Structure 1
């Protein structure tokens, strides 16, 4: 049984779902720019509910909705929401994002997602984890189409994807009039390759704010930049 993951202001229980707390989710939650005017947030593919909980800690948004297809992950998200200090602001829908998009008429000021990665090497993983990590359950096209329908006119969409998919993802986004505002490329250590891209989009085309984030100088010796980004969440930072 997986132990609960204790953060500074909330706990994430992860015994029911194959998707555990990971660096990607924390990075996305911490890095995403949240304007003071944000009143409604949507988390696509909530998993344990981690990103929604970070959004609740970081913002005054009255509505923080999440959508999760996998039954065990949905139950886990609901439990983690109810155990938190922000249970009155957090709500999880049990549905595919495609179903959710068809049924919801409200627009969101901020949408966040740590979407499934498409890489076929994940297919040998146990079924729940493979579904969460394989984009056949939610393609980039479906994700971006839905976001374009649910995002408010002046809202933004923040996502973490493999760096190898960054160019393709941005090209698809532009077909839905979503343009990158900020991009942070993430690598584990100084000498390692860039593995992830954090990208925040809006409907406004502007000059992209580009940065690079390195997590470690050496094993468990974190860079100042990474420490500053996540210090409000991790207990040991």
Structure 2
């Protein structure tokens, strides 16, 4: 693992990536690898190819010749809840944004070359860690490749050229979105419900003679917190079950 990251760091520096960016990137990759319980080669591929990909995403590709048109690759990081992520991934994939990975904060790390942008399409599956390789192998014949994981959610991408041909190329790339966080009404409602439960418990404790050291009080707080968490988890799981039962393309 150390040899892979050392080689990766040297290759990134050679491509002009700043030292600060190299440090941040390696830290995120290392944390991701610990969560994935895998090897760098299995998770990221050959170090030379991966370094090239990261360098392009950092806008550190080789400079263009003087007088030649073009622009550096753009990077955009954003996050969304499970009620909106698929819709937004395909919306922005249609604007040329390619997801390279999902970072440790659950953000989609995207890149786009405005001068050579292609449309992308995405799909999301739910899978346990041990099921990921089997799932990827099943989807590969249709052109889907893994582009990130977050807890039990696995994301896949493929260029629209696989289905749209030359029409997948963008004539002009829209501006980089300013927004970076997308939360649906349904997800915000879940958060509000959990927060309301916590506030209600705090108000009850503050307006009564109940002691925090009382076992019954502590048990009630734990049960209340668990109830809120279970309610939120149930809502999310119900949404995923509904998606799985639908006909997939």
Q: TM-score range by the shorter chain?
A: under 0.3
Relative contact order (alpha carbons < 8 A, sep ≥ 6): 1 or 2 greater?
1
Normalized against structure 1, the TM-score is what?
0.24
Answer 1 or 2: which has greater strand percent.
Answer: 1
Answer 1 or 2: which has greater helix percent.
Answer: 2
